[in-house]
């Protein structure tokens, strides 16, 4: 089940975030998105009552952005990341966004394969985007109701 994230989910969400990312959001970052950022929406994926992943989006005017997408390593390779990606895209389509944008490490082959599979294209390379090792990021986009 995918459902809106609550403050009660933050310990599990933050544990997944720290597990997977060298440069990760703080628990306060998630709190801000949940309670103060009017453009943000966060969702969790539950399996047997356990939060195993999450996806964050922002919707500003006609532009959607995927801010986070993560599945705990114990649950990877089972289609949950794809399920959450499609959930986020469908939500943004219903909300009349014209395009979806995201950033991804150039070395994240699994994520890139997923995004290419679902029609995302590389718009540009953001040099030294990640602060932990100054790795580049691809800015990717997918038209969902307009043009990019």
Which are the catalytic amino acids?
A: 103, 115
- In whole angstroms, give the CA distance from residue 137 to residue 28: 24
**What are the C-alpha distances in Å from 40 to residues 34, 48, 78, 110?**
7, 26, 27, 25
What does DSSP assign to residue 61? T
Q: Rounded CA gap, 77 and 71, in Å? A: 9
């Amino acid at each position: 089940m995918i459902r809106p994230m609550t403050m009660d989910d933050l310990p599990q969400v933050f544990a997944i975030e720290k597990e997977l990312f060298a440069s990760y959001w703080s628990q306060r970052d998630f709190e801000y998105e949940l309670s103060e950022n009017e453009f943000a929406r966060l969702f969790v994926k539950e399996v047997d009552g356990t939060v195993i992943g999450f996806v964050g989006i922002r919707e500003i005017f006609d532009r959607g952005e995927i801010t986070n997408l993560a599945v705990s390593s114990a649950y990877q390779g089972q289609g949950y990341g794809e399920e959450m990606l499609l959930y986020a895209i469908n939500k943004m389509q219903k909300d009349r966004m014209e395009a979806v944008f995201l950033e991804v490490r150039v070395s994240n082959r699994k994520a890139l394969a997923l995004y290419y599979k679902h029609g995302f294209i590389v718009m540009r390379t953001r040099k030294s985007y990640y602060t932990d090792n100054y790795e580049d990021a691809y800015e990717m986009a997918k038209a969902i109701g307009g043009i990019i």
